[in-house]
Amino acid sequence: MASYKNEVNDSAASLFSPYKLGKFSLSHRVVLAPMTRCRAINEIPNDALKEYYVQRSTPGGFLISEGTLISPTAPGFPHCPGIYTNEQVKAWKKVVNAVHAKGAVIFCQLWHVGRASHTVYQPGGKAPISSTNKPISNRWRILMPDGSTEKYPAPRALVSHEIPEIVEQYRQAAINAIQAGFDGVEIHGAHGYLIDQFLKDGINDRTDEYGGSLTNRCRFLVQVVHAVATAIGADRVAIRISPAIDHLDASDSNPLALGLTVVMCLNKLQLDLNSQLTYLHVTQPRYVAYGQTESARQGSEEEEAQLIRTLRKAYQGSFMCSGGYTRELGMEAVAQGDADLVSFGRLFYIES
Mean pLDDT of 73-87: 98
Q: pLDDT by residue (tens digit) across 237-287? A: 999 999 999 999 999 999 999 999 999 999 999 999 999 999 999 998 765
Q: Which segment of 158-167, 209-218, 341-350 scores lowest on mean pLDDT?
A: 341-350
- Could you give the CA distance from residue 182 to residue 53 in angstroms, rounded to a whole number? 13
Q: pLDDT by residue (tens digit) across 21-41? A: 999 999 999 999 999 999 999
Query: What's the confidence (pLDDT) of residue 117?
Result: 99
Q: Which sequence positions are flagged as catalytic?
A: 193
11 band by pLDDT with thresholds 50, 70 and 90: very low
Query: What's the confidence (pLDDT) of residue 285?
Result: 78
Tell me what the pLDDT averaged over the chain comes to: 93
Q: Is 77 helix (H, G, I), strand (E, B) or coil?
A: coil
Closest CA to 69 of 160, 147, 165, 172: 172
122 band by pLDDT with thresholds 50, 70 and 90: very high
How far CA 317 is from CA of 4, 234, 264, 337, in Å, comes to: 6, 12, 12, 13
CATH domain 19-350 topology: TIM Barrel (3.20.20)
Closest CA to 253 of 320, 301, 205: 205
As a whole-number percent, the residues of the chain with pLDDT over 90 amount to 86
Query: What's the confidence (pLDDT) of residue 286?
Result: 67
293 band by pLDDT with thresholds 50, 70 and 90: very low
Q: pLDDT by residue (tens digit) across 307-331? A: 999 999 999 999 999 998 989 999 9
The pLDDT of residue 150 is above 70? yes
- Calculate the dihedral angle through the C-alpha atoms of 189, 193, 195, 201, rounding to the nearest 10 degrees: 110
CA angle 193/195/200 to nearest 5° reads 85
Q: pLDDT by residue (tens digit) across 228-239? A: 999 999 999 999
350 band by pLDDT with thresholds 50, 70 and 90: low
Query: What's the confidence (pLDDT) of residue 341?
Result: 98
